[in-house]
Amino acid sequence: MSVDLQTVKRVARLARIAVSEEDAQRMTGELNAILGFVEQLNEVDVSGVEPMTSVTPMEMKKRQDVVTDGNKPADIVANAPATEENFFLVPKVVE
């Protein structure tokens, strides 16, 4: 795949990035080099390789999925400007 000057300008416009004519010319070459590298990655044989999220195997930390109130309602509303019975009080905004 090859990127031309018109494509670079279109992508810049869609991304709302101001690009001068000389920058667009330079970016054309840079984007073509990046896409060439990505095409090289398609040549790598990855059959039989398991997908992984880390180079070292690790177990995810898990906890029971239970619903609680946090057991600390006073701590939760401690920094609120106004509270009542562990609820936040907010000013009325609609009349």
What is the CATH classification number for the domain harbouring 21?
1.10.20
Is 17 a member of any domain? yes
Is 35 a member of any domain? yes
- pLDDT-derived band at 26 (thresholds 50, 70, 90) equals very high
Is 81 a member of any domain? no
Looking at the chain, the whole-number percentage of residues with pLDDT higher than 90 is 53
Task: Report whether 25 contacts 54 (CB < 8 A).
Answer: no
CA distances (Å), 67 to each of 9, 64, 72, 83, 85, in order?
51, 9, 14, 23, 21
* Full-model pTM: 0.48
Where would I find the H helices in 1-95?
Answer: 5-14, 21-41, 73-76
Mean pLDDT of 19-35: 93
Is 72 a member of any domain? no
The domain total for the chain is: 1
Mean pLDDT of 66-82: 87
Integer Cα distance of 34 and 27 in angstroms: 10
Look up the domain containing 31 and give its range.
Answer: 5-41
